[in-house]
Amino acid sequence: MTNDPMTKEMKWNADLYDQKHAFVFQYGEDVLELLDVKPGEYILDLGCGTGHLTQQIKDKGARVKGTDFSPEMIEQARAKYPEVDFAVENAADFFTDEKYDAVFSNAALHWVLDANGAARSVYNSLKHGGRFVAEMGGKGNVAHLIEAIQLVLQNHGYHVQADTKLWYFPSVGEYATKLEEHGFRVTYAVHYDRKTPLQDGDLGVAKWVTMFGAQYMENIPEEEKAEILKEITHKLEPFYNENGQWYADYKRLRFVAIKE
């Protein structure tokens, strides 16, 4: 297992994830087209969250397994889709006796700070000729938001929280190199802007941070936390508010790699 502090300590609110942040798996439906599921294939959905895309893979005729490091996410996935095989596993350190035809991952790999461990585990889990199809946060993802969070936390004296590293957002060259070093041939890679709407207007920033960046707020009193979130929102308004609709500055990395 990795020493990733994010994966060890993060507690996911699976209900809130489904109700208020459905864009995570809805955008992932595009990546499913790139996966091009064939009936009868054995596919791993790595970092499956609450299992929506895992079920869609199954619906296309594949045998599928969904894994996530979060027990809360897997519990919800099992409740929603009881006929799908789900398990709690670490994306940076897992093993399977029966090899997969493909490994699919949507919006999960940027949580895996041990990218080498993930590439190695995925490569070892695939059949020869198997494919690794994924989308994740790319270089510059939510850069305005991270800058605002860190600046406000520093101003309030929360230097440890400000220095917290939650995500790994690589460039195409950086991640393609890692994949190649572990034996993959990268056949497709693209890095693109995808501004992502936030729900509930100017409250959307606080809700996003509460859902995805909760570790930044650890050990901060509730009253001060509310003030910090307001200050972060204020700093982001020039970048995020477009005539009342707020957007986060997402940048995504999408790729296909083949095990040779």
pLDDT of 141-193, one tens digit each?
999 999 999 999 999 999 999 999 999 999 999 999 999 999 999 999 999 99
- Whether 46 is covered by a domain: the verdict is yes
pLDDT at 199: 86
Average pLDDT, rounded, for the chain? 91
Residue 103: CATH number of its domain: 3.40.50.150
SS3 45: strand
User: How many domains does the chain fold into?
Assistant: 1
- Give the confidence band of 27 by pLDDT, cuts at 50, 70, 90: low
Instruction: Give the Cα separation of 145 and 232 in Å (integer).
Output: 8
Q: Which of 250, 243, 110, 131 lies closest to 186 in space, CA to CA?
A: 131
pLDDT at 6: 38
- Whether 70 is covered by a domain: the verdict is yes
- Give the confidence band of 198 by pLDDT, cuts at 50, 70, 90: very high
H or E segment to which residue 102 belongs: strand 100-106
- The token duo for 247 is 């957007």
| DSSP label at residue 51 | S
Q: Is the dihedral of CA 21, 27, 31, 37 positive or negative?
A: positive
- Whether 152 is covered by a domain: the verdict is no
Chain centre distance of CA 86 = 17
Q: Which of 61, 115, 149 lies closest to 105 in space, CA to CA?
A: 115
Radius of gyration in angstroms for the set of CA atoms belonging to the chain, rounded to a whole number: 18
Whether the pLDDT of residue 239 is over 70: the answer is yes
- Whether 126 is covered by a domain: the verdict is yes
- Whether 75 is covered by a domain: the verdict is yes
Instruction: Give the Cα separation of 254 and 256 in Å (integer).
Output: 7
- Whether 213 is covered by a domain: the verdict is no
Which tops the pLDDT comparison, 134 or 8? 134
Instruction: Give the Cα separation of 29 and 210 in Å (integer).
Output: 25
Q: Give 3-13 pLDDT, tens digit per residue.
A: 343 334 455 35
Which tops the pLDDT comparison, 27 or 147? 147
Strand pairing report for 42-46 and 100-106: parallel
* Mean pLDDT to the nearest integer, 3-24: 44
Range in 6-20, 43-57, 245-259 with the lowest mean pLDDT: 6-20
* Mean pLDDT to the nearest integer, 85-93: 98
Domain containing 91: what range? 5-141+167-197+251-259
pLDDT at 186: 98
- Please check whether residue 32 is in contact with residue 88, taking contact to mean a CB–CB distance below 8 angstroms: no
pLDDT at 2: 35
CB-based contacts of 177, cutoff 8 Å, min separation 6: none
Q: Which residue has the tokens 């190199």?
A: 177
pLDDT at 200: 87
Q: Which residue has the tokens 């997402």?
A: 250
- Please check whether residue 252 is in contact with residue 191, taking contact to mean a CB–CB distance below 8 angstroms: yes
H or E segment to which residue 75 belongs: helix 71-80
- Whether 231 is covered by a domain: the verdict is no
Query: How many residues are there in the chain?
Result: 260
Instruction: Give the Cα separation of 135 and 107 in Å (integer).
Output: 6
pLDDT at 29: 73
* Mean pLDDT to the nearest integer, 200-218: 93
- Whether 137 is covered by a domain: the verdict is yes
- Three-class HEC string of 118-186: HHHHHHHHEEEEEEEEEEEECCCCCHHHHHHHHHHHHHCCCHHHHCCCCCCCCCHHHHHHHHHHCCEEE
Range in 29-33, 64-68, 253-257 with the lowest mean pLDDT: 29-33
